[in-house]
Amino acid sequence: MKNTPPQIWVLCDDRPGNSNQALGVAEALELPYAVKRIAYSPSANLPNFLSLNALSRLDAAKSDRLEAPWPDLVISAGRRAAPIARYIKSQSRGNSRIVQIMWPGFPTYGVDMIVVPEHDRVHLNRNIVRVPGAPHRLNEDILEREGKMWEKTLSEVKKPYVALLIGGSTRKRDFTPEHASEVAQMASMLAISMDASLLISTSRRTSDESERVLKRQITAPFYFHDWRKANNRMNPYIAFLALADAIVVTGDSLSMCTEACSVGKPVLIYSPKDLSAKKHQRLHKLLFDKGYALPLTPENLPRVQQGQFNPPSETLNPSLAIARRIKTLFFPVK
């Protein structure tokens, strides 16, 4: 290993979810890194197996310059970023290593590590590393900072807190008003049984009608974060995770479920079959089997309320697991 730290580039694009996964791994390495912002041209929507010049997939005017000195490691996430990472490796004459988060599509040549969730059914590849859930950026410092930042505001409602994290509709499934009603009623039952308040967060995928029904069915004291307000751009989502004594989360977001299970609190996942795609259901089963979460059902509410459900002492941290693998394979201590 060199005496100087390795040079690391993180490719960040227009999808915050992808960028946050790549950044989460970079931060877990605890090494200096540079962010390279990339914007795509329409060609990026074409399959990766087409033999296009990688730079034709970029909107150069809106992207950071990619030029020497080339990095020792490139961290990319999502299918569209993979050809750009391979271009960087080719310019470095093969010296740059590539860690690709999420299946890159074909071809996979030149990619040194492909990180996929355990629940994904992807082709076998000798470079695949499987992790439970999705990489994220949460750590103790961030949780403590966000918790302190929001503690005074959230004191409007009494402790203890139950976080209620609502996602919404996806490409394949709808989060309906009926779903909103059911999850609101069960979350309220849990909060009332714990003499607690609900900390509620919705998302841009939550329809207006589902949000109205959700609020109407809440019967416990609550604090509601309205992301639509122009003067309310700060997001207490991480603070909710930090300060909650229990967490209820809808199962439509892989990242949200993983993050909820990363803070060492009892987690209940709302996952009716008509809401969660099969891929999501496989993740939920994995989290249930490993003891990180329970299905949100009336039968499971007393287990949380009475303290009978405790998650593993080692919290769910895919980013850290990936970072350790990277150091072992690419930057071993000599």
CATH no. of 8-136+318-330: 3.40.50
Contact yes or no for 309/303 (Cβ under 8 A): yes
C-alpha span between 50 and 54 (Å, rounded): 10
- From 23, 35, 28, 29, select the one nearest 5 (Cα to Cα): 29
In 33-167, where does DSSP find H-type helix?
A: 82-91, 140-154
pLDDT at position 170: 87
265: CB partners within 8 A, 6+ apart: 241, 244, 245, 246, 247, 311
Which positions of the chain have pLDDT values less than 70? Answer: 1-2, 122-124, 230-233, 334
Q: Mean of the per-residue pLDDT values for the chain?
A: 93
Domain extent listing, the chain: 8-136+318-330, 140-305
C-alpha span between 109 and 126 (Å, rounded): 11
pLDDT at position 124: 66
- CATH superfamily assigned to domain 140-305: Glycogen Phosphorylase B; (3.40.50.2000)
**pLDDT tens, position by position, 75-132:** 999 999 999 999 999 999 999 999 999 999 888 889 999 999 887 776 667 789 999 9
Q: Which residues of 300-330 are buried (b: 16+ CB within 10 A; e: fewer)?
A: bbeebbeeebebeeeebbbbbbbbebbbeee
Q: How far lies 148's CA from each of 143, 162, 198, 235, 243, in Å? A: 9, 17, 18, 13, 9
Partners of 73 in beta bridges:
8, 97
The 3-state DSSP class for residue 77 equals strand
The 3-state DSSP class for residue 10 equals strand
pLDDT at position 230: 47
121: CB partners within 8 A, 6+ apart: none
Predicted TM-score (pTM) of the model is 0.89
- Dihedral sign from CA coordinates of 110, 38, 74, 133: negative
C-alpha span between 11 and 256 (Å, rounded): 22
C-alpha span between 22 and 110 (Å, rounded): 18
The 3-state DSSP class for residue 28 equals helix
Q: Do domains 8-136+318-330 and 140-305 have the same CATH topology?
A: yes
Q: What length does the chain have?
A: 334
173: CB partners within 8 A, 6+ apart: 252, 274, 275, 276, 277
In 156-232, where does DSSP find H-type helix?
A: 177-193, 208-217
